[in-house]
Amino acid sequence: MVPEPFEIVVKRRDTTDTWTFELEPRSGEPLQFAAGQFTMLSAGGAGEVPISISGDPDRPERLVHTVRAVGLATRAICDADPGRVLGVRGPFGTAWPVDEVRGMDVVIGAGGIGLAPLRPALMSLLARREGYGRLVLMYGGRSPDQLLYPDELADWADRGFEVLVTVDSAGPEWLGHVGVVTRLVRRAELDWTATAAMLCGPEVMMRFMVAALVDQGAQGENIYASMERNMQCGIGHCGHCQLGPTLVCRDGPVYCWSELAPWLAIREL
Amino acid sequence: MDGVHVIERNDFDALLDALTRRGYAIVGPTVRDQAIVYDEIASSADLPAGWTDEQEAGHYRLRRREDEALFGYAVGPHSWKQYQLPAEVKLWRARVDQDGGLSNVTEPPRESPRYAFLGARSCELHAVGILDRVLLGGSHPDPADAGRTKDLFIVAVQCGEAGGTCFCVSMKTGPVAERGFDLALTEVLEEHRHYFVVEVGSERGADVLADVPHGEAVEEDRTAAGAVHARTASQMGRELDVTEIKELLYRNYDHPRWEEVAERCLTCGNCTMVCPTCFCTTVEDVTDLAGEHVERHQRWDSCFTVDYSGIHDGAVRGSAKSRYRQWMTHKLATWHDQFGTSGCVGCGRCITWCPVGIDLTEEAAAIRESEEGPK
């Protein structure tokens, strides 16, 4: 239950309230992880929070986390500069089905900071580009300045991802799409019955995204989503992250939608 | 270790002495604040001799018995959970360095006392097993949790009478403890004789018994013990039809009964505190004023608080309805999928200690009746 020390070696500001950290383990032992997993992250004595890993699973030497300052613990993390040490426990949870969907077209559907947990999957897909059909990223943000990883979006496009970006609102300088991310679904003309989707974002965004995908002909068993609940221990002992018959820290955060759908239909589950 | 034995009341303290000599800290029932609670026991004088408990929904009173039975009560507000998973545990303490890292990290010693649980009931042994499965049965067992129950010695007591809120027969967790003990006692009170019929459940149990004056049980003793077991089984204060109860509750997440119970529920969390299997905990980092030292504490939490389900944009379960539903469906339904057993052992504590007397057997029955009609 004691966190391992990881030193901040790179800190990059993504948006007004979001930073990406690259961390190196003091032990020298890389943290091997699977795309989609999370760690319990802490700074000093300000409490521990579950944060998805957003780095490349093929390069575990540096642990990468994108963190939005929204509460006491995340604010303390975001205040920490290079040279400071963060506490890490993990990795925990289930992974994106990167290997399972080989041979299929893959849609990555991200809303806001939901792109961070999907970045490892995206990198794994690109590293094995020839193993997949079309790769499409559908990414929605609040406004152009709130988009994560803008330089990488262009790089991913160069390397074989169809990158579709939309924002809720923008000024006249924005030449891209405006509107909710679900509207991008209709734009991508895919062979939907052979398309897998990996989704992460606000729960309401994922619900509408699934509805749009299924409407086009995608199969529920090919849709995966990363869920957020109040994970506190990461090891299935504290009870807080219950989602119906599952524990998100143990049986999630990545779930197959067809298994989850009946439960998400229940309000305040 | 076969056979059934008898210890006379006058020799009972020799059993406690035998456990003490072997280094066990004996924890058992004692009277405090007008309730029977668990605490360290030095001799039989600490036990609740001559007391019983009167239990109903939202009602608990101690009452004098007409005899001097040591275990003549059902169960109190405490359970063995407080020794398996104490209400507050310091996970670690450390210095916060200039760079924000932690040094001089100390974890509290893993060795807890070797406990002997005296007076554990059948439902409680099932609860100990269920909690063990949650804490130690997954892929990340915490050595600190394992350490607390590693060398447990269990002296079970077969219930001599059922409480008004008991329903172990429905849950198939009692009243007779069949395994999971080192020794099991059935207390028999006759007009001129007070004795315990003793079953041995382990080599360690046999070893302890060898140190205690005892005799072989004769036919009459066995019959007397059997009569006690049968009487208790026939006295259950409550019953719960558990036929496909998981499916029943899964079908009824939107049942109007949840709204109705929420109008009575105070969301106080008493039921989760007294439940012998409720395991939820939260962690809290505590620093000194200068922020130079930090301790991480784990303490019991309850799914009845709003914070329990809090994520960054608010609580998942904001209404009382959703929180009561979460608790009851967890006990009786989702626990099966999460941990492979029921989360309820039928001890009745949640009914007794609910300040407004909400009764989960009644709530489950109401939902069933709306589907099937009254039984």
The per-residue pLDDT for range A115-170, each reduced to its tens digit, is 999 999 999 999 999 999 999 999 999 999 999 999 999 999 999 999 999 999 99
Percent of chain B beyond pLDDT 90?
89
Identity of the residue in A2, A46, A246 whose CB atom sits nearest the CB atom of B105: A2
CB contact under 8 A, A44 and B140: no
Q: How confident is the model at residue B279 (pLDDT cuts 50, 70, 90)?
A: very high
Is a pLDDT exceeding 90 seen at residue B374?
Answer: no
Q: Which residues of A touch B147 (CB under 8 A)?
A: none
Q: Which residues of A touch B135 (CB under 8 A)?
A: 237
Q: Which residues of B touch A84 (CB under 8 A)?
A: 99-101
User: Is the Cα torsion angle B369, B370, B372, B373 positive or negative in sign?
Assistant: positive
| Rounded (10°) angle between helices A203-216 and A257-264 | 120
**Residue B106, SS3?**
strand
Cis, peptide link before residue A91, omega less than 30° from 0: yes
Identity of the residue in B102, B145, B312 whose CB atom sits nearest the CB atom of A70: B312
Q: Considering only residues 109 to 128 of chain A, which have any Cβ-Cβ distance to chain B shorter than 8 Å?
A: none
Is a pLDDT exceeding 80 seen at residue B333?
Answer: yes
CB contact under 8 A, A87 and B91: no
User: Measured between alpha carbons, how far is residue B348 from residues B54, B151, B262, B273, B345 in Å?
Assistant: 12, 28, 20, 13, 8
Q: How far apart are the first and last CA of chain B?
A: 45
Q: What pLDDT does residue A235 have?
A: 94
pLDDT in tens, B140-190: 998 888 888 888 999 999 999 999 999 999 999 999 999 999 999 999 999
Lowest mean pLDDT among B52-66, B90-104, B351-365: B90-104
Average pLDDT score over chain B: 95
Chain A: residue whose CA lies nearest to B335: A245
Decide if A70 touches B, using CB distance below 8 A: yes
Is a pLDDT exceeding 50 seen at residue B1?
Answer: no
Q: Which two tokens stand for residue B106?
A: 């100390």
Cα-only R_g, chain A: 18
CB A220 within 8 A of CB A209: no
Q: Which domains does chain A have, with CATH numbers?
A: 4-92 (2.40.30.10), 105-226 (3.40.50.80)
CB contact under 8 A, B279 and A239: yes
Is a pLDDT exceeding 80 seen at residue B110?
Answer: no
CA distance B15 to chain A (A): 36
Q: Which two tokens stand for residue B312?
A: 């960054």
CA distance A141 to chain B (A): 17
Q: What pLDDT does residue B281 have?
A: 97
Q: Where are the alpha helices (DSSP H) in chain B?
A: 12-21, 81-84, 122-136, 143-149, 168-171, 203-209, 219-233, 245-251, 257-264, 270-274, 320-329, 335-339, 349-352, 360-372
Q: What pLDDT does residue B360 have?
A: 97
CB contact under 8 A, A245 and B311: no
Write out residues in chain A with pLDDT < 50, as ranges: none
User: Is the Cα torsion angle A21, A24, A26, A32 positive or negative in sign?
Assistant: positive
Give the amino acid at B235: Q
Q: Which two tokens stand for residue B89?
A: 């545990």
* Residues A44, B105: Cα–Cα separation, whole Å: 13
pLDDT in tens, B49-83: 999 999 999 999 999 999 999 999 999 999 999 99
Decide if A87 touches B, using CB distance below 8 A: yes
Label residues A235-263 b or e (16+ Cβ within 10 Å = b): bbbbbbbbbbbbbbbbbbbbbbbeebbeb
Q: Which two tokens stand for residue B290?
A: 């200068």
Q: Considering only residues 187 to 246 of chain A, which have any Cβ-Cβ distance to chain B shorter than 8 Å?
A: 202, 228-230, 232-240, 242, 244-246
CB contact under 8 A, B291 and A45: yes
Tell the residue number behind the tokens 């005296």, with chain if given.
B118
Give residue limits of the domains in chain B: 4-88+109-233, 245-279+302-372
Q: What pLDDT does residue B112 have?
A: 77
Percent of chain A beyond pLDDT 70?
100
Q: What is the Cα A186 distance to its own chain's centre?
A: 22
CB contact under 8 A, A240 and B280: yes
Long-range contact set of residues B323-329: C-beta below 8 Å, sequence gap at least 24: B323/B265, B323/B267, B324/B258, B324/B261, B324/B262, B324/B265, B324/B267, B324/B358, B325/B253, B325/B258, B326/A242, B326/A269, B327/B271, B327/B272, B327/B303, B328/B249, B328/B360, B328/B363, B328/B364, B329/B249, B329/B250, B329/B253
For testing contact with chain B, the best of A230, A235, A247 (most B CBs within 10 A): A230
Q: What pLDDT does residue B2 have?
A: 61
Q: Which residues of A touch B100 (CB under 8 A)?
A: 43-44, 80, 84-86
Interface predicted TM-score (ipTM) of this complex, two decimals: 0.93
Decide if A26 touches B, using CB distance below 8 A: yes
**CB burial class (10 A; 0-12, 13-18, 19+) of residue A28?**
exposed
For testing contact with chain A, the best of B96, B294, B296 (most A CBs within 10 A): B296
Identity of the residue in B285, B309, B338 whose CB atom sits nearest the CB atom of A247: B338
**CB burial class (10 A; 0-12, 13-18, 19+) of residue B30?**
buried
